[in-house]
Structure 1
Amino acid sequence: MGESLTLGVLGGMGPAATLDFLQKLQAYTPIESEQDHLRVLVDINPKVPDRNTPGSLAGPVLAEMAGALRGAGAEVLAIACNTAHAYAGLIQRASGLPLIDLIETGAQAAAGTGAMRAGVLGTKGALKLYREYLAAQAMGLVGLSAQGQDEFMELIYRIKAGDTGPEVKAAMVKLADDLIADGAEVVIAGCTEAPLVLAAKDLKVEFIDPGDLLARRCVAVCLGLEPVPALPI
């Protein structure tokens, strides 16, 4: 196998979701020997300010992480967090590196199912991004009720704290079912913690795990099987 690009991963938001992404990245890399695996530089930084807190300084911290990854040898970036993609432009400008976009990946996969309305389990910040990307695919977004959104955020913080037990799993499935009942023809895990407790077998419609698809895209880009994304102008 020839030379591959070095991938830089901004992670730690939260750590379990980043480790899940890295495990998938390794599993999807075609190898004949140990040396065929990708070189991956990862900053697992749970100290990044909460992306869901208005006015947090997450952007500058993420930009600094991206710059450090470039300095260490990264040639292309991925972010193992949906909400952090609100700072994608800043991250790319600060590092000068292209980004394999998680939100874009999820939205394109949803459009590929032929569905017209996608239910998204995500933070308010992630929902805003998905709404824009889905609209570009001529798709509508189905979100949770205000109460459901509050319940979702409570579940996400429980998962980040290590609770992936049956109560949390059942509650997440119930929220996904609520989206389907409201007209969602496909469900997107718009938060990287959601797939830690939710799987395709739990739902009556197709389930999109953008993190899983991002791992596949990272392998393809780094091996030259897919073009490197262009930097924003």
Structure 2
Amino acid sequence: MTHAHPPKVLGVLGGMGPAATLDFLAKLQAATPAAREQDHLRVLVDINPQVAAGDGGYEAAGPGLAAMAAGLRDAGAQVLAIACNTAHLHADAVRASGLPLVDLIETAGLAARAQSAERVGVLGVGEALALYRRAFSHQAIEAVTLDDHEQVEFMALLYRIKHGDLGPASRQTMAALAHRLVGKGAQVVVAGCTEVPLVLAAADLAVPFIDATEALARRCVAVCLEG
């Protein structure tokens, strides 16, 4: 398989959490049209679980993410992606590296719009939900989210997933939360947190399911192969 231009080198800001980054990399490889090993992209990955480890969490992660982006750029990356929804709070700090960022949240919105959906359910943490609401409003999409008590249940489940609990109970709880969004009128459900697709799949839902991680992987491949 020959390309008119050599593919761009992708830099991935990861570690938020580590399992979600590995899921993104697997989906990136699966999304790449490759007849042989050499057709795959060159990918530089910084898995840095410490970036949001301080008291400020993701709110204070801007300088760390900016440093990761600059490091990936200096190592040869030409395009960046962040394998975490909440870290997009600091998308501008990452773009300050001078490299283009394939925006995960914008990508999920484009995928939802491709389904002609007007009401889209989002499973995600509070900061990411605010980013989704803003992105969706620009795309004439209404974001449907969990009630406060359901969101508490979602956050508890998320921490269990981050600790490696990917068993039937976690899958069942996540599916039940997704069904609540459908009950509120969601025509499509978006995995707006990179841990969600670790326990939820299209087969679990009666409406279309958008795995934002997978959508990001596909778009990264397209951008890098444009050369």
Q: The TM-score by the shorter chain falls in which range? A: over 0.9
Query: Cα distance 1:53–1:164, how it changes in 2: closer, same or farther (>3 A)?
Result: farther
Match of 2:163 among 161, 170, 173: 161
Deviation of 1:107 after TM superposition, in Å, equals 0.7
Match among 183, 193, 200 for residue 195 of structure 2: 193
Q: CA deviation at 1:136?
A: 1.1
* 2:92 match: 89
What CA deviation, in whole Å up to 9, does each residue of 1:52-80 have, x standing for no partner?
Answer: 95684211111100000001000000000
Which residue of 1 is the match for residue 148 of structure 2? Answer: 146
Contact 1:119 1:143 in 2 (8 A): yes
1:42 and 2:45 correspond: yes
Q: For 1:210 and 1:54, how far apart are their aligned partners in 2?
A: 22
Aligned counterpart, 1:17: 20
Cα displacement string for residues 168-217 of structure 1 (whole angstroms, at most 9, x for unaligned residues): 11000010011111111110000000000000010011101111011011
Secondary structure of 1:141's aligned partner: strand
2:76 corresponding residue in structure 1: 73
**2:52–2:58 contact (8 Å) kept in structure 1:** no
Q: Which aligned runs of 4 or more in structure 1 are off by greater than 4 angstroms?
A: 50-56
Give the number of aligned pairs: 224
TM-score (norm 1): 0.92
Q: Percent same amino acid among aligned pairs? A: 60
Give 1:219-230 correspondences, 5 Å limit: 219-224=221-226
Alpha-carbon separation, structure 2, partners of 1:67 and 1:54: 20
Q: Is the 2:27–2:217 Cα contact (8 Å) retained in structure 1?
A: yes
Shift of 1:32: 2.4
| Letter of the structure 2 residue corresponding to residue 176 of structure 1 | A
TM-score by length of 2: 0.95
Against the structure 1 CA distance between its residues 195 and 51, is the aligned structure 2 distance closer, same or farther, given a 3 Å change threshold?
A: farther
Where does residue 179 of structure 2 map in the other structure? 177
**Partners of 2:210 and 2:60 in 1: how far apart?**
30
Question: CA 1:118–1:51 in structure 2 vs 1: closer, same or farther (change >3 Å)?
Answer: farther
Compared with structure 1, are the counterparts of its residues 56 and 133 closer, same or farther at alpha carbon in structure 2 (3 Å cutoff)? Answer: closer
Instruction: Indicate whether 1:58 and 2:61 are aligned.
Output: yes
Matched residues in 2 for 1:193 and 1:4: separation? 29
Separation (CA, whole Å) in 1 of partners of 2:90 and 2:188: 26
Contact 1:121 1:191 in 2 (8 A): yes
Do the aligned partners of 2:58 and 2:86 also contact (CA within 8 Å) in 1?
A: no
Q: Deviations over 1:87-132 (max 9, x none)?
A: 0011111x11110010001011111111111110001111001101
Instruction: Provide structure 2 residue ranges, at least 5 long, that are not aligned to the other structure.
Output: none
Residues 8, 76 of structure 1: 8 Å contact kept: yes
Task: Look up the match of 2:129.
Answer: 127
One-letter amino acid matched to 1:136? H
1:33 shift after superposition: 2.0
Report what 1:203 is aligned to.
205
Distance 1:186 1:160, change over 3 A: same
